[in-house]
Amino acid sequence: MTWWLLTFSRSGPARYLSHLDTSRAVQRTFARAGIPLALSQGMRPKPRLSLPLPLPVGAAGCEELGVVEVPDGVEAGAATLRRLREAAPPGLEPAALVVVGEQHPRPQVREAEYACVLDGDAGALRAAVERYGQEDSIAVERVSPKGRRTLDLKEYVAEVAAEPGPHGDETRVRFTVRHRDDGAARPQEFIDLIAAWAGVDAAMRDLQRIRIAWRGLPRGTASGPEGV
């Protein structure tokens, strides 16, 4: 068996797929392209395919990563990538394939860059983003079924910027979420803070994950695989 890394984008109607549905869409793309996937062992074998970093429903992704295992002898050349592109559903675009080999790659996220559009007072939003950059620490309380947790948002969100949006009174906000051993901040947590400071609606539009930096990938793929 051989492991591949697949990079792909998710946009358009595919933005509204859940993480599980995105995984199924990738599996079906391989099936329609006639490219077999290896199966797990046990009573109910499943395709050996995983997407290491879930993408929020409604968000577009520019550099999403899939880890797949295929039987020996399956070629990962330009023709294979072309077949995947032709078989992919609208909004799902295979971009590159990298052959890893027999060792199972286990990529871990270092950081992910996001961008979204916010409506409202552009000056107030720019001021809120500037204020974030000047703060030494910002405590945010997270409530979950497991209980309450307080985290310092400054340890998880960096490289923030605000710029004019493409239409009228809107602002495009960019930010990078750092993934640590104890987890990561949610994009909405950061946007809720900025929107509250600016006095605007916290509804994100056109959310995109622009870039993902990985660790645990083969040499030469430090921030993402190189295509064939």
Q: Which residues contact 80 (CB under 8 A, 6 or more apart)?
A: 33, 35, 74, 97
SS3 of the chain: helix, strand, coil, percent, to 5? 25, 40, 35
Q: Is the model's pLDDT at 228 over the cut of 50?
A: no
Q: Is the model's pLDDT at 40 over the cut of 70?
A: yes
CA distances from 34 to 10, 27, 29, 101 (A): 21, 11, 9, 21
Q: Give the pLDDT of residue 84.
A: 97
In percent, the amount of the chain with pLDDT more than 90 equals 76
Over range 130-149, report the average pLDDT: 90
Q: What is the pLDDT of residues 11-24, one digit of tens each?
A: 999 999 999 999 99
CATH, range 2-106: 3.30.70.580
Q: What is the pLDDT of residues 44-58, one digit of tens each?
A: 888 899 999 999 999
Listed by start position, the domains of the chain span 2-106, 109-212
Over range 128-135, report the average pLDDT: 96
In percent, the amount of the chain with pLDDT more than 70 equals 95
Q: Give the pLDDT of residue 227.
A: 43
Over range 153-168, report the average pLDDT: 90
Q: Is the model's pLDDT at 222 over the cut of 50?
A: no
Reduce the DSSP state of residue 23 to 3 states and report it: helix
Rounded Cα gap, residues 122 and 166, in angstroms: 12
Over range 137-161, report the average pLDDT: 91
Q: Give the pLDDT of residue 225.
A: 46
Q: Which of 216 and 83 is assigned the larger pLDDT?
A: 83
Over range 138-161, report the average pLDDT: 91
Please name which of 46, 47, 45, 19 lies closest in space to residue 35, comparing C-alpha atoms. 47
CATH, range 109-212: 3.30.2350.10
Q: What is the pLDDT of residues 85-128, one digit of tens each?
A: 999 999 999 999 999 988 889 999 999 999 999 999 999 999 99
